[in-house]
Amino acid sequence: MKQLDNEKLSLFLDNQLDSEQSLHLLKAINKDPALQTKLQRYSLISQAIKNDASQVASSNFVASIREEIRNEPTYLIPSRKAPANWKKTAWAAAASVLLGVSVVTFMTAREQAQPFGSIQTLAQTNKHYRTADNTRFNEYLQDHDNVWYVNNATGSQPYARVAGYSDR
């Protein structure tokens, strides 16, 4: 068992364990002084190989920090959902809105189309309305052809007279 733990410790130092294995090992180190010493010695060996100088944490390092932060306030920050979930939610919401808009547009178009029966009928009706509008508009232009509005007084001042008034 110890041999296995030590082997895992070696892998842990080289970042070869996955998160779950690392967490399990860290918890074991936290409870087992022998594993703490082994980690200390492996770290020392690793540093001494890489450099000419080596210095590792003392045996009571973790306990000292634990004692120091005992009186520190405890964090109670609400948990945040992972960014990936937010993205999924955003995409789902966008898709729902898009679908809703599509359905409403389709229904509206269908309701507008129904009173006229077909596209051909609709075109004829529009033509009829257009002709009637044009006639009324032409009549309006003819009625007001020589009239200029001055001070909201309508129908009495042709444009030429207004110009003449201005000269005076």
Partner 1 sequence: MSEPFNVSEDLDQGLVRRVQQGDKAAFDLLVIKYQHKIVHLVNRYVKDPSEAQDVAQDTFIKAYRALGDFRGESAFYTWLYRIAINTAKNYLLSRSRRHSEYEIDVQDAEQVENAPQLKDMDTPENMLMNEQIVEVIRSAIEKLPEEMRIAITLREFEGMSYEEIAEAMDCPIGTVRSRIFRAREAIDAKLDPLRLKRYCDETTRQRKTIAFSR
Interface ranges with partner 1 (CB under 8 A)? 6-7, 10-11, 14-19, 22-23, 26-27, 29-30, 36, 39-50, 52-62, 64-66, 68-70, 72, 74-79
Nearer to partner 1, 86 or 106 (CB): 86
Distance CA 65, CA 101 (A): 58
Nearer to partner 1, 59 or 138 (CB): 59
Nearer to partner 1, 19 or 118 (CB): 19
Distance CA 93, CA 33 (A): 52
Other CB atoms within 10 A of residue 29 CB: 20
Report in angstroms how near the CB of residue 78 gets to partner 1 at its nearest: 8
Nearer to partner 1, 28 or 122 (CB): 28
Report in angstroms how near the CB of residue 2 gets to partner 1 at its nearest: 11
Distance CA 47, CA 55 (A): 8
Residue 9 contacts residue 28 (beta carbons within 8 Å): no
* Phi/psi at 157 (5° precision): -120, 100
Report in angstroms how near the CB of residue 89 gets to partner 1 at its nearest: 19
Report in angstroms how near the CB of residue 28 gets to partner 1 at its nearest: 10
3-state class of 155 per DSSP? Answer: strand
